[in-house]
Copies of this chain bind each other. A is one copy, B any other.
Amino acid sequence: MAKSRFEYVRTFERENLFHQETYLVVRVDGRGFHKFSAEYQFSKPNDMRALQVMNSAAQSLMEAIPEILLAYGDSDEYSFLLRKKCELFERRESKLVSTFASTISAYYQFYWNKIIPEKPLNVQRLPTFDARVVMYPNEKIVRDYFSWRQVDCHINNLYNTTFWTLVERGGLTPKEAENKLIGTLSSDKNEILFKDFNINYNNEPEIYKKGTVLVRENPNLRQELTEELSDRQKQREIKKLHKSRIETYHIDLINDKFWEDRPWIFQ
């Protein structure tokens, strides 16, 4: 089509292309979900249906983008691992970041309307997400990344479980509960739960304690080869990814077993 004399403004556009052969992790994070959960009266410390909305959205995103091999989430955040060979959007940062943020928001609203229809969303408080992409050069650091998020889930959930037990069953005000927990260790919180409320934290649901792992199970990709794949071979590999099933778990990502059982994650 005809070009105008204003077309030159495009020369001001810049793209950050992530290096090939590195692992990209896209993390999406709910914006203002503290207020969002208050507005829609989430049950505390965890709202199972809101988690279902989030997990359904993440699962749909993962189905839509076959090069996501692994996802991990809890609360209102999710991290998606793109495989090392991923060439999605030529690995452009803005495209990745905006597409993930937009897509998770779209699915979240969609599933909210399905799963929690009795709480219609209000235009002043729609669910939105920000996103970032982080590049990691090797397997060890990718594993440490997911360990970091799972440890964080554990720390937050133990805190929240104790806090809300103190408030809802112990009759403390939020401020009193907060003060009581300042400086406490994990063992202290476990003890409060057990001694004062007869709650054994270990018996809490795994989905709350461990978060949710979505993994593309054995796509049976080619082993790493010295030669480059042709474009047709690449398409075939992506089809395999697309067809391989996605499983949901609430299990440990910190130990070796999960990873040793799934070598294709780092292929």
A22–B135 Cα distance when bound, in Å, is 11
Closest to A104 in B: B102
Partner of A102, one of B4, B60, B105, B141: B105
A207 → chain B closest CB, angstroms: 21
Q: Is A93 part of the binding interface, using a Cβ–Cβ cutoff of 8 Å? A: yes
Count of chain A residues with a beta carbon within 8 Å of a chain B beta carbon = 66
In this assembly, does A137 line the interface, its C-beta being within 8 Å of a C-beta of chain B? Answer: yes
On whether A6 and B148 interact (CB within 8 A), knowing A106-B128, A126-B106, A132-B98, the answer reads yes
Of A12-20, A42-50, A212-220, A239-247, which stretch is located at the interface? A12-20
Residues from chain B with Cβ under 8 Å of A151 in the complex: 4, 6
Q: Which 7 A-B pairs have the closest CB atoms?
A: A6-B148, A98-B101, A98-B131, A106-B126, A101-B102, A4-B151, A137-B137
A sample of 11 inter-chain contacts (CB < 8 A) reads A1-B159, A6-B144, A6-B148, A9-B141, A12-B136, A13-B132, A22-B137, A99-B101, A101-B101, A102-B104, A103-B105
> A: which residues have CB within 8 A of B?
1-2, 4, 6-14, 16-17, 19-22, 28, 31, 60, 93-95, 97-107, 109-110, 113, 121, 123, 126-138, 141, 144-145, 147-148, 151-152, 155-156, 159, 185-186, 228
